[in-house]
């Protein structure tokens, strides 16, 4: 699998566009009329103010406190970059806030404090306590981070959590539970060696000891060697608490006979000889980032019985904090917790471990392009497992309730889990799944329009995103100039530039085209113009001859023109079974609209074909199809000749015996709104439709563009189906991300029957 590559220019552009930063704040209540404003502010706001003053606990009812976390840093230990200061840490803290929202629907604000004085930080955070339901400390250097966290936990009545310490510890503990399960060992009997006596290392050792590991079975090492009882050099009170009675003085000596190695230190700290000296069925968690203490390849070269985890996504068993902190806070916030204690952290670890042992759902396997089964290469759940949100927070909440830190216990835990499942945005899972599948596919993608800067940036993103080779149709000098204008001059090395002047296959392309079109009014000159001068036809010829796996085009010309050129090489007309399906993503919902590209005015049989094609696309994207044939009429009223074909289309599908839900004709509100649908209890759909088959292409186009312009919906498509090869046609208003998404769709062969 290709490694993901990023450049300074891409990173800076990502953080600058479409507007600086990574999140906005939007109101959750109506703010349209004067009445709305008077309720939101004066005079209506006085009522909840008085209620909170009388009963402070009601702040959780009348404000966003119960779903708001502060991400706080002073920038003294920013990622692996060191002390960059408060202001330079802001991109990281914004990123952490976005992760809270993305993975657990927790609202979060980043706060950067411009001081290195622990007392000033403690005072500032404590004074902000009324605003937040929890505090996430981040990137504060040791030992100050220990002092700050401990004092704030003592002085505040909301959860305070330093993720650099405890986040790593929780995920490490989850993986360790399963690794020891596989190796048949008990934690209280294991010899555990930890290298790296910083915040994360100390937290890891404290948590495994809380889970049953014996003090003198745990040996901690730092840059000066083993931390043993009696050592004085480079010590502090936190290291001293873990000093062991041992004769070992170096990491190599400590590793002899060790059952477990936990590394939060530096690249290359562990040698193959150290691995050889460990106990049978040893466990190695080499969590240094970006490069582990020892790579899985090097460890397995000398031992085939070891279980290895790292902090990297390109190896199995990634120890990733995003598996922990969003769900810990979700569970803590939902019981209005006073703290996050060890019992809640252990509950999180045990729930993660148990989840990894369960059968992995098909949608997760589909997302990662492989079957995931509990074992040596799968001891920790994947970060995009949709079960995390409704599995981990309930376990955390229950532990908080059992240990007395809950202000408001959850009575119906099953209902709570259902609510959690419903609140997350399924579209994110779908997109992530497609990206993961594309990385597995490693498709060679043709980008037909190398004279457009958006296309070039999408091609670079495709290559650097680790999806496969990117072929660009254009002239080398033109591409180089465009990339330089975009600040991506060096990216030309990532692209393969192809055109009629430098391909050895032009004669074959022309022969193929002449044999195909000679009886359609095309002479040799026409064929030459098409093959050598039209980039859409040329790109399609590359695809037809197996010189690429997929094609993306259409960003610079109208779709009708592009489709006409595609048809010179492939059979992509309505009578050939081609259909265009557009995915519309908005407010956590995904709706497919069809046909948006090929059929101008489909009849009953065509509409049934369109429904089947759209159902195939929906399933390829991990959704079970529910098709509604939409009209201005609902189940025969009002009577209209124009609506009749939508009514008949359902009968056509009846005769075909398809294996998905469908019904119609119906209006859009009946199709999408459960309350409106309830007025028609005979409707065969078990829930809101996710595929709308529309009467004509013009109504499809109007619907899509209206949602895009007025509602800000994300549009993917039209996704071209029913063609022999993966070809996707963008719109002329496509953004770089839109074009990249279409390349991902092509790489995943969405819409292909084989």
Active-site amino acid positions: 41, 96
CB 39 within 8 A of CB 30: no
Question: What residues does 616 pair with on adjacent strands?
Answer: none
Phi then psi for residue 5, to 5 deg, are -120, 135
Q: Which two tokens stand for residue 512?
A: 């193929």
Q: Is 260 exposed, middle or buried (0-12, 13-18, 19+ CB in 10 A)?
A: buried
Q: Which helix (H) or strand (E) holds 12?
A: helix 8-16
Note every long-range contact of 515-521, with CB atoms under 8 Å and residues 24 or more positions apart, other chains counting.
516/568, 516/569, 517/568
Phi then psi for residue 31, to 5 deg, are -135, 45
- Strands across the sheet with 107-112, in order? 107-112, 68-73, 134-137, 160-162
C-alpha 146: how far from chain center: 32
Question: Nearest-CA neighbor of 697 among 533, 563, 557?
Answer: 563
Question: What is the DSSP-derived secondary structure letter of residue 20?
Answer: S
Question: What residues does 110 pair with on adjacent strands?
Answer: 71
Question: Nearest-CA neighbor of 84 among 29, 141, 42?
Answer: 141
Phi/psi zone of residue 628: left (φ > 0), alpha (ψ -120 to 50 degrees), beta? beta
Question: What is the DSSP-derived secondary structure letter of residue 711?
Answer: I
Length of the chain: 754
- What are the start-end ranges of the H helices in 545-592? 559-567
What sign does the CA torsion over 360, 361, 365, 371 have? positive
Phi then psi for residue 541, to 5 deg, are -65, -40
**Cβ atoms < 10 Å from Cβ of 751:** 27
Alpha carbon distance 197, 222 (integer Å): 5
**Cβ atoms < 10 Å from Cβ of 182:** 15
Question: Nearest-CA neighbor of 743 among 391, 332, 438?
Answer: 438
Note every long-range contact of 51-60, with CB atoms under 8 Å and residues 24 or more positions apart, other chains counting.
57/336, 57/407, 57/408, 59/130, 60/133, 60/336, 60/407, 60/408
Q: Which two tokens stand for residue 372?
A: 């995931």
Question: Nearest-CA neighbor of 579 among 598, 560, 566, 554?
Answer: 598
Q: Which two tokens stand for residue 377?
A: 């290469």
Question: What is the DSSP-derived secondary structure letter of residue 637?
Answer: B
Alpha carbon distance 640, 671 (integer Å): 19
C-alpha 411: how far from chain center: 32
Phi/psi zone of residue 137: left (φ > 0), alpha (ψ -120 to 50 degrees), beta? beta
Half-sphere exposure of 596 (CA within 13 A, CB side): 27
Question: Nearest-CA neighbor of 735 among 457, 451, 432?
Answer: 457
């Amino acid at each position: 699998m290709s490694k993901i590559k990023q450049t300074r220019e891409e990173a800076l552009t990502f953080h600058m566009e479409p507007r600086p930063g990574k999140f906005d704040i939007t109101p959750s209540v109506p703010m349209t009329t004067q009445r709305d404003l008077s309720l939101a502010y004066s005079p209506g706001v006085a009522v909840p103010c008085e209620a909170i003053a009388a009963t402070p606990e009601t702040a959780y009812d009348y404000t966003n406190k119960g779903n708001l976390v502060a991400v706080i840093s002073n920038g003294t230990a920013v990622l692996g970059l060191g002390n960059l200061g408060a202001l330079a840490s802001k991109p990281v803290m914004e990123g952490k806030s976005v992760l809270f929202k993305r993975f657990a629907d927790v609202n979060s604000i980043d706060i950067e404090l411009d001081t290195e004085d622990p007392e000033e930080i403690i005072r500032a955070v404590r004074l902000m306590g009324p605003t937040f339901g929890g505090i996430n400390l981040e990137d504060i250097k040791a030992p100050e981070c220990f002092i700050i966290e401990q004092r704030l936990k003592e002085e505040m009545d909301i959860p305070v959590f330093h993720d650099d310490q405890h986040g790593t510890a929780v995920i490490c503990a989850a993986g360790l539970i399963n690794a020891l399960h596989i190796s048949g060992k008990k934690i209280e009997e294991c010899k555990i060696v930890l290298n790296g006596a910083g915040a994360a290392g100390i937290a890891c050792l404290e948590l495994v000891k809380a889970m049953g590991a014996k003090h003198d079975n745990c040996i901690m090492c730092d840059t000066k060697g083993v931390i043993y009882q009696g050592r004085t050099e480079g010590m502090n009170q936190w290291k001293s608490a873990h000093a062991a009675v041992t004769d070992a003085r170096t990491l190599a000596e400590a590793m002899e006979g060790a059952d477990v190695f936990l590394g939060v230190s530096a690249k290359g700290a562990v040698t193959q000889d150290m691995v050889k000296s460990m106990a049978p069925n040893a466990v190695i968690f080499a969590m240094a980032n970006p490069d582990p203490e020892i790579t899985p390849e090097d460890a397995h070269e000398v031992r085939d019985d070891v279980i290895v985890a790292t902090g990297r996504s390109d190896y199995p068993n990634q120890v990733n904090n995003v598996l922990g902190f969003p769900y810990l806070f979700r569970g803590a916030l939902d019981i209005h917790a006073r703290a996050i204690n060890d019992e809640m952290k252990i509950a999180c670890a045990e729930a993660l471990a148990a989840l990894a042992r369960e059968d992995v759902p098909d949608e997760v396997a589909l997302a990662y392009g492989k079957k995931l089964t509990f074992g040596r290469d799968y001891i920790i759940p994947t970060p995009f497992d949709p079960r995390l949100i409704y599995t981990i927070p309930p376990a955390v909440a229950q532990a908080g309730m059992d240990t007395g830190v809950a202000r408001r216990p959850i009575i119906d835990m099953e209902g709570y889990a259902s609510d959690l499942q419903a609140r997350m945005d399924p579209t994110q899972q779908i997109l992530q799944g497609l990206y993961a599948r594309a990385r597995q596919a490693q498709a060679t993608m043709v980008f037909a329009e190398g004279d457009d800067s958006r296309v070039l940036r999408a091609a670079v993103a495709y290559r650097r995103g680790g999806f496969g080779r990117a072929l660009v149709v254009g002239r080398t000098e033109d591409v180089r100039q465009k990339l330089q204008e975009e600040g991506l001059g060096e990216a030309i090395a990532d692209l393969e530039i192809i055109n009629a002047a430098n391909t050895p296959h032009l004669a074959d392309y022309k022969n193929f085209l002449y044999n195909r079109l000679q009886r359609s009014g095309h002479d040799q000159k026409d064929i030459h113009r098409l093959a050598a001068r039209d980039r859409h036809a040329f790109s399609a010829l590359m695809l037809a001859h197996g010189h690429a796996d997929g094609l993306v085009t259409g960003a610079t010309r109208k779709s009708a023109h592009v489709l006409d050129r595609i048809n010179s090489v492939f059979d992509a007309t309505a009578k050939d079974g081609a259909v265009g399906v557009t995915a519309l993503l908005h407010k956590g919902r995904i709706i497919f609209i069809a046909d948006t590209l090929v059929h101008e005015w489909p009849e009953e049989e065509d509409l049934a074909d369109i429904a089947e094609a759209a159902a195939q696309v929906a399933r390829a994207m991990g959704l079970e199809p529910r098709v509604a044939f939409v009209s201005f009429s609902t189940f025969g009223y009002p009577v209209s000749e124009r609506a009749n074909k939508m009514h008949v289309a359902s009968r056509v599908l009846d005769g075909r015996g398809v294996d998905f839900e469908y019904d119609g004709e119906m209006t859009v509100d009946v199709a999408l709104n459960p309350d409106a649908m309830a007025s028609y209890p005979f409707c065969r759909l078990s829930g809101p439709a996710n595929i709308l088959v529309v009467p004509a292409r013009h109504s499809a186009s109007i619907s899509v563009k209206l949602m895009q312009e007025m509602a800000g919906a994300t549009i993917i498509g039209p996704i071209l189906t029913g063609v022999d090869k993966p070809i996707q046609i963008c719109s002329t208003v496509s953004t770089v991300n839109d074009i990249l998404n279409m390349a991902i769709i092509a790489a995943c062969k969405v819409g292909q029957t084989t």
